[in-house]
A and B are shown apart, each in its own frame.
Chain A
């Protein structure tokens, strides 16, 4: 079935450095790629997304890149802060279908 591979599963970075999470997908019909952040004890929340007509999108310290040919997309957090410590989920979606296929998640730890 359709899968989204997300790596790494655990990521530890020093405060102030950057963090990168990579996802790949199988379904070439996927055209929408959201990222969700889940803080401990909280519900997952959308933090940034990118559609297939874009290659790069930035919201403050969050950058997402999309390579449609390689079927890969990534999240980059620049200047990480303790508040960035959380679980991050990527997803790939075919907007003509109903399915949201999530990756397994990346547990980001920002170390002081």
Chain B
């Protein structure tokens, strides 16, 4: 099974409220990523876990949190959603440290903040 599963598919949130997005994979991949995709923009890496080590991008460091309680599961947490968080959030996984490895993407969660 080479699928990455994301839940929910669509998410509505109110400004100022927290948001938690979920991703899982059963391929035993070492690395799991979260990307943010807005229309007419390239997918932007927010953070990734290599095994248990979390790496967050400098420009989104304070906006997003994540947890990975086990190899299969990774969440993306927004403490206080703003309108600018409306986007598609793509989870991906790969064997190893990723840069040279195939990324397996989930179908994404479309977050709309109102």
Tell whether B72 is near chain A: CB-to-CB under 8 Å.
Answer: no
- Residues of B whose CB lies within 8 Å of any CB of A are 4, 40-43, 45, 48, 50, 55, 90, 97-100, 102-103, 105-108
When A99-B45, A101-B42, A102-B42 are in contact, do A46 and B108 touch as well, CB less than 8 Å? no
Q: Which A residues lie within 8 Å of B108 (CB)?
A: 43
Q: Which A residues lie within 8 Å of B4 (CB)?
A: 43
Interface residues on A, range: 20 to 34
Compute how far the CA of A6 lies from the CA of B103 in the bound complex, rounded to whole angstroms: 19
- Residues of A whose CB lies within 8 Å of any CB of B are 4, 6, 9, 32, 34, 36, 41-46, 49, 89, 93-105
Q: Would A98 and B55 count as touching, CB distance under 8 A?
A: yes
Partner of B43, one of A32, A42, A49, A102: A102
Nearest residue in B to A99 (C-beta to C-beta)? Answer: B45
